[in-house]
Structure 1
Amino acid sequence: MRRLAAVLLLIHAAGPGWADTLRIATFNTELSRKGPGLLLRDIERGKDPQIAAVTAVIAAARPDVLALQGIDWDYEGRALAALTARLADQGLDYPYHVALQPNSGLPPPAPLDMDGNGKAGEPRDNQGYGRFRGQGGIALLSRLPVGRAGIRDFSALLWRNLPGALLPQHPDGSPFPSPEAQAVQRLSATAHWMVPLQLPDGSRLNVMTFHATPPLFDGPEDRNGLRNRDEIRLWQLLLDGQLGPAPEGPFVIAGDANLDPEHGEGHKAAIRSLLADPRLQDPRPQSPQGGTATVEWQNAGPMRVDYVLASAELTVTGGGVVWPDGPDDPAAIASRHRLVWVDLLLD
């Protein structure tokens, strides 16, 4: 806890308070469990060390808007409500939240082999990987009011309908794994949302959040790599007005792209293009221990895959990555991913 206290002092020193700045964060908590209802059970029991570590990290960073990944969705939102109650116990209230049903664990309209292994009905044969509906979903917590009528959910967009989509193929050029699968395959492995928030002066800030599939765990057809590419490209196409009306006013992209611009697998041109887009600015949040890295995988090592990107007209006053000092640090116990935060100046 001494480490978290130091982080808290560092974060608060980065900018003035709520009256002047807005702190937006993204955090892949990896809280997902192996069955429905298990996350709610573990939160309510109050004895799970990972859950305690996740809430400690969030409470130390104190974001005003928090994009979460790796949290199981349930129809009544009970797991998310239980988590926000735990945060409230630590003095951090989020009266507004968004938790729409994700694609993870959502079966296609009819049983199909969606991953090309010759079997149907397995976790990878759902619209996004999941043992059950909503496993490993996303959520948005906010101290700012949510304009629910203006939420845009792109999660039902078929992959083949994305402009410029690159769909996987068999060596003979036929659709992988089948034309029937590609006819129903959604683009989003988890979800893509644009959520309008009302700023204190009455203006609007659009928060775009997602959790892309890892560009791994496939074969020579590169199904997951191509999907990851197009999941990241969606945001630029949205800004171009190719997916309906382009968003008006300032915006922030906050989520897990599962792609490092320099290291590891995947189509790096996708994330490099997003980071270089003149309509965006990349604050490059860092930590003294890990630099710009936001995750540390056992085999692949540290990488930058989680992002908070602000639109060009916004003024960034600070940012950082909550990186642990050692294995006993709550940030290490919580998740392999680190909470990433950026402070924006409120005019």
Structure 2
Amino acid sequence: MADPLRLATWNADLSRKGPGLLLAEIRKGDSPQIAATLQVIAALDADVLLLTSIDFDTRLVALDALRDRLAEAGSPYPYRFALRPNTGMPSGFDLDGDGRLGTPRDAMGYGRFAGQSGMALLSRLPIRAEAAQDYTALLWADLPGALPPPDLPAAQRALQRLSTTNHWQVPVTLPDGGTLAVMGWYATPPVFDGPEDRNGRRNHDETAFWLRLLDGALPFPAPTAPFVLLGDANLDPVDGEGRPAALLALLADPRLQDPAPRGPHGRSEPGQRGDPALDTAFYPDGPGGLRVEYVLPSADLHVSSAGVLWPAEADPLAPALRAASRHYPVWVDLDLP
């Protein structure tokens, strides 16, 4: 039998406060966080890895620089993919109502500059970029059953995109010549707003998008199995703030399977309802541990194992994980025919 295929997602916190800063930091070669990131990705050993919270530039120069550093570290990823996110894209409106235009919260998705905190795919399998489907321009109002704030002005409703960052589907070529569709997204946190709950509503609908796509209720073809849906939903099913209805429906959808990856850290959080072993991020000054990242294979795929790369404190990898990000990688191994 062939070796399992590992798919993973990780919010690697590779976002900086200005354009070009990530590239400069990678190239300079003395950043402890970048060094920790390389160590974590090497330990994760994924065949296909979706990185979230990584700054985007048009020619993917920063992503290529990261890929070069990974190759030098013995973790080559010959294929990569990213598309322009909505983060930092000017909307032309004062979306946050502070009386100023052009602030980060006035963008289509929060961002100090175009492309801040985007997402990218690294792969050992060939990526069929020409066949990718990009849903990032879909208007929020065009999602069936959408929950935009009731008082959203008509001019904003006619312009506001659903995706904070991206929604896209990218086919990769499997070792046997078959195709696996990789579907990724990175949603807004359901906080940092007011009583209108704009971000909470948008976070809900960014996940609900996948339910509508699976139902064939959008002006895009429904995905054909086999596929894997993965990314950062920025929402825990039972703990923290937010509207979990769409996420709970996605986790229970019979067209998908939730392997419920677990970390071996042994943490406990008596004040929370969820199992801490399922957590993928830790916010020490906020809600604590939350499960916010997901890898959900289609129901036809055989999952051999799954986990969260969050070891106990005594593990030699633990310092690198803490230095890299508040988030921990989530992975799923698939047995292919």
Query: What TM-score comes out, normalization by structure 2 length?
Result: 0.93
User: Does structure 2 conserve the Cα–Cα contact (< 8 Å) formed by 1:250 and 1:313?
Assistant: yes
CA–CA distance in structure 2, aligned partners of residues 309 and 134 of structure 1: 26
Partner SS, residue 29 of structure 1: strand
Report the CA distance between 1:346 and its aligned residue: 1.1
Name the counterpart of 1:317: 304
Correspondence for 1:130 among 111, 121, 124? 111
Instruction: Give, as a single letter, the amino acid of the residue that structure 1 aligns with 2:179.
Output: R
Answering whether residue 227 of structure 2 is matched by residue 251 of structure 1, we say yes
Name the counterpart of 1:27: 10
User: Does structure 2 conserve the Cα–Cα contact (< 8 Å) formed by 1:324 and 1:330?
Assistant: no
Instruction: Give, as a single letter, the amino acid of the residue that structure 1 aligns with 2:221.
Output: P
Name the counterpart of 2:45: 62
Partner SS, residue 274 of structure 1: helix
Name the counterpart of 1:172: none
Name the counterpart of 1:267: 243
CA–CA distance in structure 2, aligned partners of residues 105 and 37 of structure 1: 14
Name the counterpart of 1:332: 322
User: Does structure 2 conserve the Cα–Cα contact (< 8 Å) formed by 1:196 and 1:206?
Assistant: yes
CA–CA distance in structure 2, aligned partners of residues 61 and 309 of structure 1: 18
Partner SS, residue 105 of structure 2: helix
CA–CA distance in structure 2, aligned partners of residues 319 and 194 of structure 1: 22
Cα distance per residue 1:125-164 (max 9 Å; x no partner): 0000000000000001111111222201000000001111
Name the counterpart of 1:100: 83
CA–CA distance in structure 2, aligned partners of residues 179 and 120 of structure 1: 18
CA–CA distance in structure 2, aligned partners of residues 201 and 336 of structure 1: 37
Name the counterpart of 2:169: 194
Correspondence for 1:41 among 21, 24, 28? 24
Query: What TM-score comes out, normalization by structure 1 length?
Result: 0.90
Instruction: Give, as a single letter, the amino acid of the residue that structure 2 aligns with 1:281.
Output: Q
Instruction: Give, as a single letter, the amino acid of the residue that structure 2 aligns with 1:73.
Output: F
Contiguous gaps of at least 5 residues in structure 2: 266-275
Report the CA distance between 1:336 and its aligned residue: 0.3
Cα distance per residue 1:95-132 (max 9 Å; x no partner): 11111111001112xx2111233332100100000000
Answering whether residue 79 of structure 2 is matched by residue 79 of structure 1, we say no
CA–CA distance in structure 2, aligned partners of residues 276 and 116 of structure 1: 37
CA–CA distance in structure 1, aligned partners of residues 277 and 215 of structure 2: 32
User: Does structure 2 conserve the Cα–Cα contact (< 8 Å) formed by 1:260 and 1:304?
Assistant: yes
CA–CA distance in structure 1, aligned partners of residues 311 and 4 of structure 2: 25
Cα distance per residue 1:188-246 (max 9 Å; x no partner): 00000101111111111101101000000011111000000000011111111112211
Q: How does 1:126-205 map to 2 (within 5 A)?
A: 126-169=107-150, 175-176=151-152, 178-205=153-180
Partner SS, residue 83 of structure 1: helix
Partner SS, residue 261 of structure 1: coil
Name the counterpart of 2:279: 293
CA–CA distance in structure 1, aligned partners of residues 306 and 97 of structure 2: 42
Instruction: Give, as a single letter, the amino acid of the residue that structure 2 aligns with 1:295.
Output: A
Name the counterpart of 1:344: 334
Partner SS, residue 291 of structure 1: helix
Cα distance per residue 1:316-337 (max 9 Å; x no partner): 0011111154496101111000
Correspondence for 1:218 among 193, 215, 218? 193
Instruction: Give, as a single letter, the amino acid of the residue that structure 1 aligns with 2:82.
Output: A
CA–CA distance in structure 1, aligned partners of residues 136 and 300 of structure 2: 27
Answering whether residue 94 of structure 2 is matched by residue 113 of structure 1, we say yes
User: Does structure 2 conserve the Cα–Cα contact (< 8 Å) formed by 1:25 and 1:341?
Assistant: yes
CA–CA distance in structure 1, aligned partners of residues 247 and 336 of structure 2: 28
CA–CA distance in structure 2, aligned partners of residues 279 and 34 of structure 1: 39
Cα distance per residue 1:283-339 (max 9 Å; x no partner): 011112150100000221001000011110000001111115449610111100001
Partner SS, residue 223 of structure 2: coil
Over the aligned positions, Cα root-mean-square deviation in angstroms equals: 1.3
Instruction: Give, as a single letter, the amino acid of the residue that structure 1 aligns with 2:287.
Output: A
CA–CA distance in structure 2, aligned partners of residues 126 and 190 of structure 1: 11
User: Does structure 2 conserve the Cα–Cα contact (< 8 Å) formed by 1:32 and 1:39?
Assistant: yes
User: Does structure 1 conserve the Cα–Cα contact (< 8 Å) formed by 2:263 and 2:311?
Assistant: no
Q: Aligned residues: percent identity?
A: 56
Report the CA distance between 1:256 and its aligned residue: 0.2
CA–CA distance in structure 2, aligned partners of residues 339 and 288 of structure 1: 13
CA–CA distance in structure 1, aligned partners of residues 154 and 98 of structure 2: 15
Instruction: Give, as a single letter, the amino acid of the residue that structure 1 aligns with 2:173.
Output: Q
Partner SS, residue 53 of structure 1: helix
Instruction: Give, as a single letter, the amino acid of the residue that structure 2 aligns with 1:317.
Output: S
Partner SS, residue 302 of structure 1: strand
Partner SS, residue 200 of structure 1: coil
User: Does structure 1 conserve the Cα–Cα contact (< 8 Å) formed by 2:79 and 2:124?
Assistant: yes
Query: How many residue pairs are counted as aligned between the two chains?
Result: 322
Contiguous gaps of at least 5 residues in structure 1: 1-15, 170-174
- Mean Cα displacement is larger for which, 90-99 or 191-200? 90-99
